[in-house]
Amino acid sequence: MEVVICANYDEMSKQAAQVVADLVRAKPDAVLGFATGTSPIGLYKELARMHKAEGLDFSEVTTFNLDEYAGLDGTHPQSYRRFMNENLFNHINVPKENTNVPSGTAADWREFCDEYEEMIIDAGGIDLQVLGIGSDGHVAFNEPGSSLGSATRLVYLTKQTLDDNSRFFDRPEDVPRTAISMGVGTILEAHQCLMVVNGANKAAALAAAVEGPVTSMITASALQWHPDTIVFCDEPAAAGLKMRDYYDWIQKQKAAGE
C-alpha cells in the first residue's frame, strides 16, 4: 500500500485525479469504480477540468458506483445517482448508458445485487476503484463486522453512519436505514484501488486502516491485502500515522527517480 501525504485537500484531489487521468489516457475504454461523499468531490472537479481544458476523453469509459441508499430513486436530492450526475457525469463526455449506480428501488434486492456483480464481470472487471473511508473505518457501506469476502448486497447502516450522514438530510429520521453496497470482496477484485482521505475527523480511521491489523471491524483495512492500492490524504488526515517519515521518504525517492 502506497501512502501519499499532500499539503492540503486541493493538492490531494489533483494528485489523485492525475492517477485516474493517466489510466484513461493509457486505456480509453477503462472501467472506473467511483465513490460518493465529500472526499472525492475535488477529484471529480479536477477530472471535469481536465476534460474541458485538456481534452481528457471519457467517451469509451464505463463506470460502476459503490453504493446507493435503498428506497431512493435517481431523482432524489440525496441519491447517489444524482450526486454523480451533478459532480461528475454531467461535466464529462461519458455516455450515460455506460454509467452504473446501484438501484435504490429494485423490486428484488438479491436479484439486483447478483446482476450488478455479473455486470462488473461482463465489463472485464474494474480497472481502478476510487474509495473514501468512513469515520469508523468502513469502506463503501461495508459497516464494521462485514465479511471481508462479501459481495454486493443489501446492508443495514450503523448508528454512526446514520449520524454522520444526517447532515445531508432535512431530518435525522429521513436518512435511509439500508443501502445497496459493493462488498469488500468485490472491491478487492479491482485491479487498482485509490483511496482519498481528508480531514482530522478521519485521522484515526486512516491510521487503523493503513497501519492497524486487518479486521472486519475496520473494513478499509482489507486494502492491506490488495496488491496495488494507493492512498492520498491531506495533512490533517495523516496526523495519526506512525510511519509518516517513511511514507514521506518513499515519495522523495520516487521524485528523485531512485
Cα distances from 221 to residues 77, 127, 139, 146, 195, in angstroms, run 31, 20, 9, 12, 12
Grid coordinates representing 172 are: 435525522
- 7: number of Cβ within 10 Å: 9
136 is catalytic: yes
**Do 87 and 51 form a contact (C-beta atoms < 8 A)?**
no
Grid coordinates representing 203 are: 485521522
Active-site entry in 46, 117, 127, 136: 136
138 is catalytic: yes
Active-site entry in 68, 117, 127, 143: 143
Question: Among candidates 181, 48, 189, 50, which has minimal Cα distance to 129?
Answer: 189
Q: 172 exposed, middle or buried (CB, 10 Å; 0-12, 13-18, 19+)?
A: exposed
Report the C-alpha gap between 176 and 184 in whole angstroms: 21
Active-site entry in 46, 68, 127, 138: 138
Report the C-alpha gap between 33 and 105 in whole angstroms: 21
Active-site entry in 46, 51, 67, 127: 67
Grid coordinates representing 117 are: 456483480
The count of residues in the chain is 258
> Would you please indicate which residues are annotated as catalytic (active-site) residues?
67, 136, 138, 143
